[in-house]
Structure 1
Amino acid sequence: MQTFYKVASLALLSSVIVGCSSTPTEPEPVAPSTPPLSQSDRYQEERYDLKDDTAPEKPMSVEHVEDAMPQYEPYSLGGTRDYTVRGKRYHIIKDPKGFKQKGQASWYGKKFHGHQTSIGEVYDMYSMSAAHKELPLPSYVKVTNLGNGKSAIVRVNDRGPFHDGRIIDLSFAAAKKLDVIKTGVANVEIEVITVDKPNSQTKKQALPKYQIQVASSSNKERVETLANDLGQKLSVDSFVNSENEIHRVILGPFDDYELTQKTLEQVKLLGYSSAFVRKI
């Protein structure tokens, strides 16, 4: 019985490390010489609700989704460990400062939406996030589509893509902003953005604040009711910002970005998947 629990635990751990491993528009063909899947890889393929990845049937607009905001974040314990996927060993970059890389970007969407990333966060295809094989997690990366010059900043919190030539897997929102959705893959350049750990003096001089915009509507009464309800449920400050007859539910402000992200995850679990963080 103890052996069974050890095997199950290893399978679960491996499934979290693997993260995203496919491209929505180009499923990887299985060659005849491909070796049988290990127990952990088989668990990885069976853990999702969908067999193949797809874009959302009725995608929400991502025009309001802002770039990820680079800031100092300590690396997660699991995000700095070397790991093995399908027999290949991956070594994490110890000092990513100044790291640049060119290659193909792919993207991942509905299949992985709502499931855990390799560091235990919930993958949200409407957030500006991404996956990389060797960067420590989390990292912030500027991605430039070399085909059209468009760029965006994403927060890397997952592992993948495990395909030759592909260097980064973008969330649906990030891929949409870079016009990668139509082509499935695109030639890109990525550049790591590092932020030094603030000292006590820096914190006193410039302490950023954040808000969460949950939803907007022309119905002011409905928005006010939602703001009060969320404020009570989440034990946070809430208010309504009205401009040009559009009323927005705002939570915050927050001084701590990590707390802001945790609150954002709670908001999305309540059904408001288009909520986003903004700096003030």
Structure 2
Amino acid sequence: MQRSSLAALVAIAGLVAACTVEQTRSPDTSEASAMGEKTPSLSRYTVEQDHAPIKGIVAQNVPDAEVRPDPILPLGNGSPYVIDGLSYTVLKEYENYSAQGIASWYGAKFSGHRTSNGELYDLYKPSAAHKSLPIPSFARVTNLENGKSIVVRVNDRGPFHEDRLIDLSYAAAVKLGYMEKGTARVEVEVIPVPGVQDRRDPIYGDYRFLQMGAFGDEALAAALRAELEPLLSAPVFVSPVDIGGRMLYRVRVGPVDDARHLVAVQQILDERGYQPGQPLP
């Protein structure tokens, strides 16, 4: 199977606008700076204005983010960082963080593009962008106008507007009841997660694997494995798992020798257009 065919199967499809809202995310140059990357092409996003997806979601179908001790890695946590001439600092002591301010949301324009820690933005997940909270971290966001709340996972930087405190995903904005309005006054309270401080490794700690995808079709998993094996100096394998009676075939890379090897493998994958998920122990 051709590389392009597999990519088409696992990539997030482009979404047609159902409505147009004010753009709340930073421009490409700002996002690149927050990630510590070179400035990307201005053609990175296919549309100028952000918008809701054509496939909507209802509030009751938006879950809270799963709170877990994700390691705080260097990517996305460079501090201080400069956006449009202004300097921002990532908080080292943040467990008692609580603030009130204006929340906006971002949607289909950014769907499938990388967040500040290299993950792919999924507008249907309960995530958020914040200027100073470590990535990733977890927070409860409460809409002060109606009392609705949601737990989100902060995995991006922004919004870089003086009057904005936090940018929520499209799904989180639906859950809080302000998606159509565009903004709302909210309270953001960090949820402390035991064990996170022990996982502030300068590179990647004990993470030795990368997951490249999970497929319901074993043949697709095998095809991706065959594509990756000639490119990498680390093993590539298919790991089957039973999820509620349904078999999934996970394609994984590793184990790697050490943290530097892991970074090198990630770089090769990125250069070839593959998009690995978060490192695994």
TM-score > 0.5, shorter chain as reference: yes
Q: Please state if 1:143 is matched with 2:147.
A: no
Percentage of pairs with the same residue: 44
Alignment correspondent of 1:88:
86
Greater radius of gyration (CA): 1
Quote the Cα distance in structure 2 between the aligned partners of 1:179 and 1:60.
12
Change (3 A) 1:85 1:230: same
Quote the Cα distance in structure 2 between the aligned partners of 1:147 and 1:96.
25
Quote the Cα distance in structure 1 between the aligned partners of 2:142 and 2:247.
31
Are 1:227 and 1:240, in contact at CA under 8 Å, matched by a contact in 2?
no
Instruction: Report the TM-score when normalising by structure 2.
Output: 0.59
Alignment correspondent of 1:59:
56
Alignment correspondent of 2:22:
26
In structure 2, give the amino acid aligned to 1:84: V
Shift of 1:179: 0.6
SS at match of 2:61: coil
Equivalenced residues, count: 192
In structure 1, give the amino acid aligned to 2:242: S
In structure 2, give the amino acid aligned to 1:192: V
**1:215-238: per-residue Cα shift (whole Å, max 9, x none)?**
xxxxxxxxxx95877888863312
Counting only pairs closer than 5 Å after superposition, residues 65-214 of structure 1 correspond to structure 2 as 65-81=62-78, 82-197=80-195
Unpaired runs of 5+ residues, structure 2, are 1-19, 34-38, 198-214, 225-237, 250-281
Are 1:143 and 1:190, in contact at CA under 8 Å, matched by a contact in 2?
yes
Alignment correspondent of 1:235:
239
**1:31-58: per-residue Cα shift (whole Å, max 9, x none)?**
xxxxxx89x7884643211111000123
Shift of 1:194: 1.3
Quote the Cα distance in structure 1 between the aligned partners of 2:23 and 2:173.
17
Are 2:216 and 2:247, in contact at CA under 8 Å, matched by a contact in 1?
no
Unpaired runs of 5+ residues, structure 1, are 1-23, 29-36, 200-224, 242-248, 253-280
Change (3 A) 1:98 1:54: same
Instruction: Report the TM-score when normalising by structure 1.
Output: 0.60
Alignment correspondent of 2:203:
none
SS at match of 2:76: helix
Change (3 A) 1:198 1:112: closer
In structure 2, give the amino acid aligned to 1:80: N
RMSD across aligned positions (CA): 3.4
Shift of 1:112: 0.3
In structure 2, give the amino acid aligned to 1:70: V
Change (3 A) 1:59 1:44: farther
